[in-house]
Structure 1
Amino acid sequence: MATQLVQDDLTLTRRSGQSVSFSCGGTDQCGGYAVVWYQKKDTETFRAILYITSNGRTQKPFNHPQQDDFSADRNQNNCSLTIENVKKDHSASYYCSCDKSGSHSEK
């Protein structure tokens, strides 16, 4: 059965310069696997931004052009993606997923 993570808001509205956080619940179901955050703009495919390991370590190996604008936090059941200084170019929907491929595992 597929892991079902819970996201209340995929898109939030903020003014330029403000901060915003997207939450992802149920990450305890990911076990020792990393949570990957993706950006989806209307006219583009999903782009991986970063991943955060089960012990809370954030890695940015995906060469996303805005990767330095994002940070992530993770505890036992939840994960969040934060943009500290929102820019117009951040307009998108944001999704989380367990990386069950194991390529970003702490196991």
Structure 2
Amino acid sequence: MSVGAQLSVTDLRRAARHPVDYPVIAEHHERGDLKLHISNISAHGFMVDDASGLARGDRVIIRLPHIGRIEAYCIWTRDDRAGFQFERIIRVDDFVPMIDELQPNPRLRRRR
């Protein structure tokens, strides 16, 4: 029997990524609470730039404004960066206010 995340990795690279500077405390099943720094985010997932010790398939739970707790799976790692895919896609009516809070500089927000 296989253990770990069963990821359906699709090509989501075209999803609009929004640059953010957002520290979070992630809940990791084996390692407990981890301090992570989200550097970009989309409706499908996010990237952290301080992912030492994380591996593909790791599951974390984070808390985002307007979204609340959401689970994500690590789908890639490289150097100190890691990309995570959310367990579900964030709806647009939740995503927009979240970005407005995470990225208060309107010049850095993508055009809608």
Q: In which range does the TM-score fall when normalised by the shorter chain?
A: 0.3 to 0.5
**Between structures 1 and 2, the one with greater strand share:** 2
TM-score scaled by length of structure 2: 0.32
